[in-house]
Amino acid sequence: MEYLEQNPRASRWSHSKSIGHVLPYRKELDAIIINEVCWMPYSHHRDYRPFEDITLYSGWLKWGTYKQAHLPERVLRQYGHVQHIPRSPQHVTSVVISLEEIDDIWLHYANYVVDVAAIGHQQEHSIDCEDGYMQWFSRISHPLIIPPQERETSKVPQMQPATISHYPSINGPHFVGETCKSCKKIYDILQMVFDRRLAIEGTEIWDITRQALIMARVGSGEKFTHQKGRKG
């Protein structure tokens, strides 16, 4: 509550040093859905701290005797740009340079900033990414912080790949007059996942999301239609 906008944005949050708090945070992060993510956390902070080109410097940074790679091209959505498939971190980390060389590179940082002009700006949504990015991301990343083997999977019912025949017709007796506003909201969110290709066909998350979408359609009273060229 003591945070002031003119302070560094990172000072907006405090954290506990207790190890016991780590697992709840990880569970919350695993449960977060796409429309709950703040993709541009600095957008309301620019009046106090204007954006500087040096922020898009890509390469080695140093602090004392420590050095760390800084690769803003991997999080372009935080800077208001469409996310593209970035280069491998090894383009930076495989090159062994001294602390003195980092100083020299930093003095000429303009030669090492991400070329956002070649990438392009966002046009509509802050989660926009180029075609093929989500397929690439699903191959090189993992969807959960907590590994599946560490979860209490015995309490979670196993979900089978969805087919329309698994669910009764929305005109059936079980659903007459039982449409649900919450289901409609869930349906809209899940449909957005497919429309923006955030779920990749052939992956487990695609099957699970599609099953949930069908159930949300049934609960909200939406008729199930499969549009040509549209996944889900």
Whether the pTM exceeds 0.75: the reply is no
Residue 33, pLDDT > 60, answer yes
- Domain membership of residue 149 as a residue range: 133-220
Q: What is the mean pLDDT of residues 203-228?
A: 66
Structure tokens at 19: 């190890």
pLDDT for position 138: 80
Residue 168, pLDDT > 50, answer no
Least confident of 74-83, 100-109, 169-178, 189-198: 169-178
Q: Is residue 168 part of a domain?
A: yes
Q: Is residue 72 part of a domain?
A: yes
Q: Is residue 39 part of a domain?
A: no
pLDDT for position 105: 92
CA 175 to chain centre: 34
Q: How many percent of the chain have pLDDT more than 90?
A: 15
Final residue of a structural domain among 69, 97, 119: 119
Residue 69, pLDDT > 90, answer yes
Q: What is the mean pLDDT of residues 8-37?
A: 79
Q: Is residue 170 part of a domain?
A: yes
Q: For residues 143 and 112, state if they share a domain.
A: no
Residue 226, pLDDT > 80, answer no
Q: For residues 114 and 141, state if they share a domain.
A: no
Q: For residues 146 and 86, state if they share a domain.
A: no
Residue 192, pLDDT > 90, answer no
Q: For residues 143 and 193, state if they share a domain.
A: yes
Sign for the CA dihedral angle at 28, 31, 36, 42 comes to positive
Average pLDDT value for the chain: 75
**Cα separation, 216 vs 191, whole angstroms:** 10
What's the pLDDT band for 121 if we cut at 50, 70, 90? Answer: low
Could you read off the pLDDT of 131-167 as tens digits, one per residue?
888 888 888 887 778 876 666 543 434 444 433 333 3
Domain count, the chain: 2
Q: For residues 137 and 111, state if they share a domain.
A: no
pLDDT for position 173: 40
**Residue with the two structure tokens 């004392």:** 64
Q: From the CB of residue 213, how many other CB atoms can be counted at a distance below 10 Å?
A: 22
Q: For residues 176 and 213, state if they share a domain.
A: yes
**Cα separation, 42 vs 49, whole angstroms:** 9
Q: For residues 82 and 156, state if they share a domain.
A: no
pLDDT for position 230: 42
Structure tokens at 192: 């957005």
pLDDT for position 115: 85
Residue 183, pLDDT > 50, answer yes
Q: For residues 146 and 99, state if they share a domain.
A: no
Q: Is residue 114 part of a domain?
A: yes
